[in-house]
């Protein structure tokens, strides 16, 4: 039976989900907990929570978009530089290829053969240097847009978790009790699966994520309660 490679390939998408979901769960959770310590109306908590989720998702989405655009521009700027070096500094580039291959244990004879073969095709030559010299992979054309959408949607999904209980309870304190249970469970599950997908200790990741969310919300509640008197 042929061996089947099972490598995880959704790194960028998972990264964006993690970025959006992590902040979406913790920031609105801290906000609603803080408001619960200062106000006596669920409608205020819900209104402020929804406003924060909308503003936060836009801000996070725009941040993801700008990061994606910057990554795309950086890649193509470096690619143009490599084309110039291949054309104008051929011996320097040949030496860099030999150094890369030597680091992989390739013999001198094979190094020279690979360099000669690569030099016949500037496009493949540049692609080789982008991957093995600069460790850069070409971003997809729509990566910035897709990243923004995934981050924003993940933020909204995460943000609604701590807020939903305030829609169905009579007081902020009652809403907070349910919110704590629901959100800590969500943080636990999120931390567990995030760690599993990224190859980290799952239980440790789950506890770490839950602890951070719990501390943030407790601090916000305590400070708001203290200020409100």
3 state SS for 51-107 = HHHHHHHHHHHHHHHHHHHHHHHHHHHHHHHHHHHHHHCHHHHHHHHHHHHHHCCCC
Q: Does residue 54 sit within a domain?
A: yes
CA gap 37, 23 in Å, rounded: 21
Q: Are 100 and 144 a contacting pair, CB within 8 Å?
A: no
Q: What share of the chain is helix, strand, coil (3-state, %, to 5)?
A: 80, 0, 20
218: domain range?
13-137+148-228
Q: Are 221 and 176 a contacting pair, CB within 8 Å?
A: yes
* pLDDT, position 163: 94
Share the mean pLDDT of the chain: 86
pLDDT at 5 over 80: no
Q: Does residue 100 sit within a domain?
A: yes
Strands (E), the chain: none
Q: Does residue 1 sit within a domain?
A: no
Q: Does residue 2 sit within a domain?
A: no
CA gap 84, 31 in Å, rounded: 52
pTM over cut 0.85: no
203-222 tens-digit pLDDT? 888 888 888 878 877 787 78
Which range is most confident: 5-9, 101-105, 197-201?
101-105
Q: How many domains does the chain have?
A: 1
Q: Does residue 217 sit within a domain?
A: yes
CA gap 15, 43 in Å, rounded: 34
* pLDDT, position 160: 95
Q: Does residue 174 sit within a domain?
A: yes
Q: Does residue 5 sit within a domain?
A: no
Burial class (CB in 10 A: 0-12, 13-18, 19+), 208: middle
Q: Does residue 64 sit within a domain?
A: yes
């Amino acid at each position: 039976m042929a061996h089947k490679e099972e490598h995880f390939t959704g790194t960028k998408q998972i990264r964006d989900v993690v970025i959006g979901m992590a902040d979406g769960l913790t920031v609105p959770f801290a906000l609603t907990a803080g408001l619960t310590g200062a106000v006596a109306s669920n409608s205020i908590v819900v209104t402020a929570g929804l406003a924060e989720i909308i503003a936060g998702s836009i801000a996070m989405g725009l941040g993801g978009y700008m990061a994606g655009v910057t990554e795309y521009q950086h890649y193509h700027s470096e690619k143009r530089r490599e084309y110039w070096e291949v054309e104008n500094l051929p011996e320097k580039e040949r030496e860099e290829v030999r150094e890369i291959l030597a680091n992989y244990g390739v013999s001198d004879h094979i190094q020279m053969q690979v360099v000669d073969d690569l030099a016949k095709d500037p496009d493949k030559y540049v692609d080789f240097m982008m991957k093995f010299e600069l460790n850069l992979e070409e971003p997809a054309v729509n990566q910035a847009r897709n990243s923004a959408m995934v981050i924003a949607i993940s933020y909204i999904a995460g943000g609604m978790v701590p807020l939903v209980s305030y829609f169905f309870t009579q007081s902020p304190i009652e809403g907070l009790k349910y919110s704590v249970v629901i959100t800590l469970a969500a943080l636990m599950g999120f931390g567990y699966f995030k760690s599993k997908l990224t190859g980290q200790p799952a239980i440790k990741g789950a506890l770490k994520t839950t602890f951070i969310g719990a501390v943030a919300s407790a601090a916000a509640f305590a400070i708001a309660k203290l200020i409100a008197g």
